[in-house]
């Protein structure tokens, strides 16, 4: 998703960059099939923060579910990316 925005000369950095990336992609690509999957990344982002700073434990079902979200996001990016 960072690469999609970079194609338009946009680069997010600093505090909140991941949350802002998610919000900006949702806004910019609202009409692209599969953009709904991007919203699910916010939960993954928050869970990762919790795991890193508070010791959240993942189980097998969490990992399988999250891999499905990642697969959906990758499909969205493939759809949204310009073709050469």
- Tens digit of each residue's pLDDT (9 = 90 or more) over 5-54: 999 899 999 888 999 999 999 999 999 999 999 999 988 988 888 888 88
Burial (CB count within 10 angstroms: exposed 0-12, middle 13-18, buried 19+), residue 28 = middle
**What's the whole-model pTM score?**
0.84
* 41's tokens: 């990344």
* 55's tokens: 């010791």
Number of domain units in the chain: 1
Higher-confidence position of 58 and 20:
20
Q: Give the residue numbers spanning the domain of 13.
A: 2-80
DSSP letters for 21-74: HHHHHHHHTTTSTTTHHHHHHHHHHHHHHHHHHH-----HHHHHHHHHHHHHHH
């Amino acid at each position: 998703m960072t690469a999609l925005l970079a194609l338009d000369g946009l680069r997010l950095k600093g505090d909140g960059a991941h949350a802002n990336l998610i919000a900006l992609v949702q806004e910019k690509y609202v009409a692209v099939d599969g953009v709904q999957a991007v919203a699910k990344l916010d939960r993954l982002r928050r869970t990762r923060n919790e795991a890193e700073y508070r010791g959240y434990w993942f189980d097998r079902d969490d990992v399988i579910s999250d891999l499905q979200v990642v697969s959906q996001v990758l499909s969205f990016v493939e759809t949204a990316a310009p073709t050469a």
